Amino acid sequence: MNSASTHAYDHARTTPRALATEAVHAGRDDLARQGLHAPPIDLSTTYPSYDSRGEAARIDAFAGDGAQPEGPPIYGRLGNPTVARFETALARLEGTESAVAFASGMAALSAVLLVRASMGLRHVVAVRPLYGCSDHLLTAGLLGTEVTWVDPAGVADALRPDTGLVLVESPANPTLAEIDLRALAHACGSVPLLADNTFATPVLQRPVEQGARLVLHSATKYLGGHGDVMAGVVACDEEFAGRLRQVRFATGGVLHPLAGYLLLRGLSTLPVRVRAASATAAELVRRLAADPRVARVHYPRIGGAMIAFEVHGDPHDVIAAVRLITPAVSLGSVDTLIQHPASISHRIVEEADRRGAGVSDRLLRMSVGLEDIEDLWADLDGALGDRFAGTPGERITAEAAAR
């Protein structure tokens, strides 16, 4: 990067810009002055160097604090220029100093747990519900961690000298329950709060502005946005990012450069996609809440494109009957997806814990895409059919009623 492009890049990093502008330009600010429009994809796994002494010094520096090595790249596990562009862009969108990308959301969460465990802080305080595999990772102690499950009000009392992390997801998967992140961050004291922001994305909330130190995304979902890339990312301060890079280097949970390119491309349309899908979701919530075949609708005050609803009849019949909507796990794609959490995403959670967290056997989770509202409603209406007619129950949760 020459001096002129460096100046333009630094100016962009320090000058406040609207989220929609950041989504388009962050991670790309140096391109025009290099005569480029699309970001290059660097597929190299290793990089030539005739200065082995200099390489040794840079590797030693990385071993010390995990900072990104100055100068040309060294090896793919230490970092990749294309992936670094995505990390820069995501950090700008979340309002953090840095971001570190991984091969999946679970790899990203595992790295956070390993960082804290390496410091002797193996205890985690967590609030249910979480994504099912996050719940399982903690409950099973697969990384040597110990978890205490609490309600948000019980976080402060659950903290111990060896507590390394407080973990929450808001809106939560799959019930869309919301947590007051600001109050929770206060209750955490000096213990880092990790907020899973996968459902909301930085378009709807930026947890660091409410006191969270770490923000987790399954980038497979809304950040990629097209169902064709798997990744995870943690947005955080540079000190924690350095430790995450060291864990990524040691464990190998690196993101492929092509995935980094697709994610950077996905970010450019993130605000447009989230807002369009959210508008459709809000109208579907209104119709579902008035439908006697639906017992209850869950929708967060913050809005968004995720809906959960409980039916009077067998939810598996709905899954089998949709035609336009895709019956599949995952979320955040341009097409609408529906799944039965108790059978799929949260099957790995013990039944009592699952139900205690509000994940009933009649609950369906729907990720609303970019299709026309009338086409989606026609498909849902047909899938519900006449089998689900019943006495209207609690039509909508308080979160949705406040919309």
Question: Catalytic pick from 17, 77, 275, 286?
Answer: 77
What is the C-alpha separation between 197 and 194, in angstroms, rounded? 9
Q: What is the pLDDT of residue 204?
A: 98
- Is residue 287 part of the annotated active site? The answer reads no
pLDDT at site 16:
85
Instruction: For residue 159, give the nearest of 185, 195, 123 by alpha carbon.
Output: 123
Q: Can you give the C-alpha Rg of the chain in angstroms? A: 22
Which pLDDT value is given to residue 3?
Answer: 38
How far apart (Å, rounded) are the C-alpha atoms in residues 117 and 165? 10
47 is catalytic: no
* Active-site residue (options: 58, 92, 116, 131): 131
Q: Based on the residue annotation, tell me whether 221 is a catalytic residue of this protein.
A: yes
Tokens of 56: 């040794």
146 phi/psi in degrees, rounded to 5? -120, 135
174 with 182: CB under 8 angstroms? no
pLDDT of residue 170: 97
Active-site residue, 77 included: yes
Selecting among 28, 85, 221, 362, the annotated active-site residue is 221
Backbone angles phi and psi of 386, in degrees to 5: -95, -5
Give 340-383 pLDDT, tens digit per residue.
998 877 887 888 878 887 788 999 999 999 999 999 999 999 99
Structure tokens, 107: 């790899």
Inter-residue contact 296 to 309 (CB < 8 Å): yes
Give the pLDDT confidence score for residue 347 in this predicted structure. Answer: 80
- Predicted pLDDT at 399: 46
Mean pLDDT by 10 residues, the chain (403 residues): 41 76 97 96 96 93 92 94 98 98 98 98 97 95 96 97 98 96 98 98 98 98 98 98 98 97 98 98 98 97 97 95 96 97 82 80 96 98 78 48 41
Question: Residue-wise over 185-198: b if at least 16 C-beta within 10 A, else e?
Answer: bebbeebbbbbbbb
Select which of 30, 42, 196, 379 is catalytic.
Answer: 196
- pLDDT of amino acid 63: 92
The CA distances from residue 64 to 67, 250, 285, 288, in Å, are 8, 13, 51, 55
- pLDDT by residue (tens digit) across 233-284? 999 999 999 999 999 999 999 999 999 999 999 999 999 999 999 999 999 9
Confidence (pLDDT) at 300: 97
Please report the pLDDT score of residue 396 as a whole number: 53
